[in-house]
Structure 1
Amino acid sequence: MPPTSSILHGNNLDILASLPDESITVVYIDPPFNTGRTQNRHTTTGVRSKPGFSGSVGFQGKSYQRIRGELRAYDDSFDDYWRFLEPRLLEAWRLLAEDGTLYLHLDYREAHYAKVMLDAIFGRECFLNELIWAYDYGAKSTRRWPTKHDTILVYVKDPAKYHFDSSAVDREPYMAPGLVTPEKAERGKLPTDVWWHTIVSPTGKEKTGYPTQKPVGILRRIIAASSREGDWVLDFFAGSGTTGDAARQLGRNFLLVDRNPQAIEVMRARLGDDVHYREFPESEPA
């Protein structure tokens, strides 16, 4: 592990392979939606997987390998996305500590594929939540219900040992405050699995200019609930660095990984020169 919070520039699969087992408390990743359908990225071999992983997990009486084959037949562009995401999720499983939690942020087009993968990699008993981040901004379709939410799948390394502290998270206003006592209305309620939160304002101070930037409030809630001060938080599709910003505000250590020079530039400007930076040379394609 690096000696301090760090920005790591390079291929995330290569960098993940260099990190020690069970060293991370929270992994949050927001991979590019539909990445495998529009880009060809190489994967490396030799990723250490969960023992007995291949074909070992049942789903309605079917093996993991059979599910993968059926999805491949259903959608002939599925293979690219699966090959891109699967080895990275295996590394996330390896890196999580026993009390660790994975948050995988996706849109509606890929969430069902990823759910099958995560059930197989982590085990269905390790599924904790499907979070819905709902917002109301942007164009409105008149030919279908407008799509205004993202999905965040939450899995834990060990369902008997994971850390979760609901008292540490921010509270929300009651939608009907007149139905509760004034004391409860003033305090607010604990969030459920549906989070109403605005996007990053195009004119707000939080805006970095990075196109896929997520609100720091979303990451603060995740990190506050699933880690403690001094724990390590990892984001290996780090983009604008929101995960690092939230982790630092909460007193956590963080590792931010990205291969995009624009993302690295935005993160270094946002987080300052006191954050350790290291560049990893790209490995040769397999």
Structure 2
Amino acid sequence: MENGMGKYFKGLKAYCYNEWSALYLEDTFEALEKMFPETVDMIFADPPYFLSNDGISCSGGKAVSVNKGDWDKIGSLKEKHAFNRRWINLCRKVLKPDGTIWISGTLHNIYSVGMALEQEKFKIINNITWQKTNPPPNLACRCFTHSTETILWAQKDDKKSRHYFNYPLMKKLNGGKQMKDVWTGPLTPRSEKTFGKHPTQKPVYLLERILLASTREGDVVLDPFCGSSTTGVACKHFKRNYIGIDNNLQYIQLSIERLNNE
């Protein structure tokens, strides 16, 4: 094992680590299999949406390919669901008994994720709808504009599990009223893409709310598909410990730039 945050895996060396964060340039499945059990307080996962189907999307007012990369492609529905069940099963192993997992997705994958959570003995706490105030327009004009994503929040389906929820803070942040499960806000601003961008990068405010709602200062947070490490940025802001895993060197290097310059 290593010093600092590079101590949560057996026989696996962190690409970069310090006292509060560790980044692993590894296949998600292989890394999770080597992680010590019940070491993580919270997981945020933004897995592949599998929406890369050679279609067209809109970015900056221009028509662009919807394809994100080979990591966003899958052969069949059966393969997609097996993929989701496998990584969710491994996440359950490393999550503490009272820990929780948040998973973001669109219609292309989130229904498989929801089923996989139940099959892998998780209980869904909330179904959050993230409503985007500035979604890209629908160029085909043959359906409603896609302007939302779903974020599922779940805990282990165990009678002894007692998840943490900072209800008073969420109520305070919502003007003294109970916070609802529809969150409204803009897409990731350019200011958060100074060192480069990830095609599915989430805005920092979204991860900040998730962390404040379900973790305490000093907790260990894992992102098994970390991309550009928005989760890590939010962890740095609120003194949480961060573990990020990604198999793409470009995104790990982008993560390092972001975390070092926050």
Confirm or deny a common fold (TM above 0.5).
yes
Question: 1:131, 1:151 within 8 Å by CA — same for their partners in 2?
Answer: yes
Aligned mates of 2:110, 2:91 — CA distance in 1: 17
Matches within 5 A, 1:152-231: 152-157=151-156, 158=158, 160-169=161-170, 171-172=173-174, 187=175, 189-201=177-189, 203-205=190-192, 207=194, 208-231=196-219
Query: Where does structure 2 lack aligned partners over 5 or more consecutive residues?
Result: 8-18, 54-68
Corresponding position of 2:254:
266
1:118 aligns with 2:117: yes
Unaligned runs of 5+ in 1: 42-75, 173-186, 275-286
Give TM-score scaled by structure 2 length.
0.77
Q: Quick one: percent identity of the two aligned structures? A: 27
Query: How large is the RMSD of aligned CA atoms in angstroms?
Result: 2.5
| Divergent runs of 4+, >3 A | 35-41, 187-190, 205-208
Alignment of 1:13-52 (within 5 A): 13-34=29-50, 39=70
Letter in 2 for 1:23: T
The answer to whether the 8 A contact 2:192-2:203 is kept is no
Instruction: Indicate yes or no: 2:105 matched with 1:106.
Output: yes
Relative distance call for 1:132 and 1:243 in structure 2 (3 A) is same
Letter in 1 for 2:135: Y
Query: Which of the pair is proportionally richer in strand?
Result: 2
The question of whether the paired residues in 2 share the 8 Å contact of 1:240 and 1:266 is answered with: yes
What is aligned with 1:239?
A: 227
> Deviations 1:38-92 (Å, cap 9, x if unpaired)?
8589xxxxxxxxxxxxxxxxxxxxxxxxxxxxxxxxxx82122123222110011
Contact 1:36 1:82 in 2 (8 A): no
| Partner of residue 77, structure 1 | 76
Name the CA distance, whole Å, in 1 between partners of 2:215 and 2:198.
27
Over 3 Å counting, the alpha-carbon distance change for 1:17 and 1:205 in structure 2 is: closer
Please, which of 122, 127, 137 is the counterpart of residue 124 of structure 2? 127
Matched residue of 1:145: which SS?
coil
Q: Which moved more, 1:153-162 or 1:97-106?
A: 153-162
Query: Cα gap change, 1:36/1:118 in structure 2, threshold over 3 Å: closer, same or farther?
Result: farther
Q: Which structure has the higher relative contact order (CA within 8 Å, separation 6+)?
A: 1
- In structure 1, the partner of 2:135 is 137
Partner-residue secondary structure (3-state), 2:211:
helix
Q: Report if the CA contact (8 A) 1:26-1:100 is conserved.
A: yes
Q: Is the 8 A contact 1:133 1:197 kept in 2?
A: yes
Instruction: Tell me, in whole angstroms, the C-alpha distance in 1 between the residues paired with 2:71 and 2:108.
Output: 19
CA distance in structure 2 between the partners assigned to 1:243 and 1:273 by the alignment: 15
- Structure 2 distance, partners of 1:110, 1:210, is 19
**Structure number with larger C-alpha Rg:** 1
- Residue 105 of structure 1: CA displacement? 0.7
Q: Aligned pair in 2 of structure 1 residues 168, 18: CA closer, same or farther (>3 Å)?
A: farther
TM-score (norm 1): 0.71
Distance in 1 of aligned mates of 2:256 and 2:76: 35
What letter corresponds to residue 233 of structure 1 in structure 2?
V
Deviation at 1:166, TM superposition (A): 2.0
Q: Partners of 1:80 and 1:121 in 2: how far apart?
A: 16
Given that 1:35 and 1:81 are in contact with CA atoms closer than 8 Å, whether structure 2 keeps it comes out as no
Specify the SS of the correspondent of 1:204: helix
Structure 2 counterpart of 1:155, which letter? A
- Structure 2 residue identity aligned to 1:257: I
8 A contact 2:204–2:234 mirrored in 1: yes
Give the partner amino acid of 1:250: F
Superposition deviation, residue 117 in structure 1: 1.1
